[in-house]
Structure 1
Amino acid sequence: MQILEIILQVLLGLTSLLLILFILMHKGRGGGLSDMFGGGMTQAVSSSGSAERVLNYLTIVVALVWFLSIVGLGLITKFQVI
């Protein structure tokens, strides 16, 4: 059980960092933080619709892995026998 717990903890850390990165890469819809950090540049860089769809897909997949690793760690913690 110890090895599985370590793997899930590492997976949780990696997916947390990836989620932060992917969410910050999304195109802004209004005058939010994305416009504060070079608003004109983000429109030129992410003007492709297919790139935005791939980013949406990756964000959803990473979020699901993140959620499942949290549930797995919670189950391990709850049913762990000393």
Structure 2
Amino acid sequence: MNILIIALQVLVVASSVIMGAFILLHKASGGGVSDMFGGGMTNSLNSTGVAEKNLTRFTIVTATLWAAAIMALAVLTRFTGL
């Protein structure tokens, strides 16, 4: 059981770092780091590039994984008595 808790803790830390990087890569109103990777290639002000859409998807998946790992850690900690 301790191995599972350690694995979940590592997953939480890793996903936190990855999620922070993904959030910093998002384009702000004036541009951002994602412009270097092709995120600034838009035709109009209302549309977003493919890179920005994919970055949003990756951020949502990482955030969901992060939340699930935290909830699993809470359940394991509650019922194992650690």
TM-score for the superposition, normalised by structure 2: 0.79
Q: Higher helix proportion, which one?
A: 1
Distance change in 2, residues 1:26/1:80 (3 Å): same
The change in CA–CA distance for 1:52 and 1:43 in structure 2 (over 3 A counts) is closer
Q: CA RMSD in A?
A: 2.0
Identity %: 40
TM-score of the aligned structures, taking structure 1 as reference length: 0.79
Report how many residues are paired: 73
* 2:40 partner letter: S
Structure 2 unaligned segments of length 5 or more: list them: 42-48
Query: Which structure carries more relative contact order (alpha carbon 8 Å, separation 6+)?
Result: 1
Gaps of 5+ in 1: 31-38
Separation in structure 1 between the aligned mates of residue 78 and residue 10 of structure 2, nearest angstrom: 19
